[in-house]
A and B are shown apart, each in its own frame.
Chain A
Amino acid sequence: MKPRVATAWLGGCSGCHMSFLDMDERLIELADKMDLVYSPIIDIKNFPGNVDVTLVEGAVANTEHEEMAHLIRRNSRIVVSFGDCAVTGNVTAMRNSLTREAVLDRSYVQLADITPQIPRDYPTIAELMTTARPLHEIITVDAFIHGCPPTADQIWYAVSQLLEGKIPALSNVYLRYG
């Protein structure tokens, strides 16, 4: 059976996923080697069970991300922080030295074109956490892919290693922040 791979998108800009698609023709090779069972780039609603490797883009910035992180951990053998926001908090965490109220006010009131109001009391809207955190502060993480975004070559190297059942050793040319 081919390895079951998932990718998830938490508090990030989707750049890491764009970079994943940047692997171009190598994606065809990957399609032969693995089954993509969950991802923002395929049409599936719920995170499945029994996943071999999950790449997680983005920091944990709100309560939905937090729940998702735990769900991913419960159902994945290997969890990978995918990109600088997941690894360090990065741009998503730039708000962390401000108060949550100030951030919400700036985003939803001061910069609003119409109906300025902070969304509250809607059970469907996730609550912003006081600070956005790197993934490994919330759940145990097994491997790290750096970069904002990681290059297609970095992702190719890491994913190839993971599919062979190895943890990518990123203490070489593939370790690169920013």
Chain B
Amino acid sequence: MAILTLTINGEHVSGKDDESLLAIAEQHGIRIPTLCHLDGLSDVGACRLCLVEIEGTPRLFPACTTKPREGMVVSTDTERLRKYRRMIIEFLASEGNHQCAVCVVNNHCELQNMAYETALTHVSVPYLYPKKELDASHENFIIDRNRCILCTRCVRVCHEVEGAHTWDIAGRGIDCEIISDLNQPWGTSESCTSCGKCVLVCPTGALIEKGEAVSEMEKKTDFLRYIVTARQKREWVNLDSDEE
């Protein structure tokens, strides 16, 4: 492990060579919008919201999966990036079926928050209104694929943290969808332990608890930090006292 120095938004910063640009930016109080990233899970670069510019190349790089190099010059908040980020939210909105007014996570939704952060006044591409399935066969939970943005947080938490690997992605391109086990109703899954982790990490109203009404469900993801630090460092952090 080596310490590197680089520039982010004109500010000289240092970071470890095995950390992501996102992590280094975060340590220096530079906020980069994200959706698929979640502290405690591996990074896959699925949503592209964290795209940054790196001097010397016209390509854009997802900060969550890009490692630093000595002397790298990074911009995280340019006009071009703001435009692309808004466009990503437009695509996510138009590829699903989102009616916030009747959604269980209304006012507590990461997709909604990103729409606000990118000042999305309206979706300029045509809405696709795809036909998506809702599966309420699980005893406690529902997956409503109309609200799924394919961030794969559920897939990763179930595989990496719970160890059950119930979720996977089937299909290609626009037809991709989240499936349980061998593409069977969630309620018939033999691998699911009903732990509820996927429901809590899902950034949208795609994975929800049964019995919650419109705007009622607020997700808490700090349990993940508790479990992951316990496992990696054998430390059992007190989440309550930490928040103060």
Contact = CB atoms under 8 A, between A and B. Distances in A.
Interface in A129-178: 131, 133-134, 136-137, 141, 144, 146, 148, 170-171, 175-178
Interface string B115-131: 11001111110110111
Chain A interface, DSSP helix/strand/loop, else mixed:
mixed
A91 B97 CA distance: 10
Interface in B42-87: none
Chain B interface, DSSP helix/strand/loop, else mixed:
loop
A133 to B, nearest CB: 8
B100 interface: yes
A94 B97 contact: yes
A137 B98 CA distance: 17
Interface in A59-83: 81
Nearest to A86: B122
Q: Which of B98, B100, B123, B132 has the most CB of A within 10 A?
A: B100
Nearest to A146: B121
B99 interface: yes
Interface string B128-155: 0111100000000000000000000000
Nearest to A15: B101
Contacts of B215: 178
B200 interface: no
Contact of A93 (B107, B124, B127): B127
Nearest 10 CB-CB pairings of A with B: A178-B100, A148-B101, A171-B119, A96-B129, A178-B106, A97-B131, A177-B100, A144-B121, A178-B101, A97-B129
19 contacts: A81-B122, A87-B121, A87-B122, A88-B93, A88-B122, A88-B123, A88-B127, A93-B129, A96-B127, A97-B129, A131-B129, A134-B127, A136-B124, A137-B126, A137-B127, A144-B121, A148-B101, A171-B119, A177-B115
Interface of B: 93, 97-103, 106-107, 112, 115-116, 119-124, 126-127, 129-132, 215
Interface of A: 81, 84, 87-91, 93-94, 96-97, 131, 133-134, 136-137, 141, 144, 146, 148, 170-171, 175-178
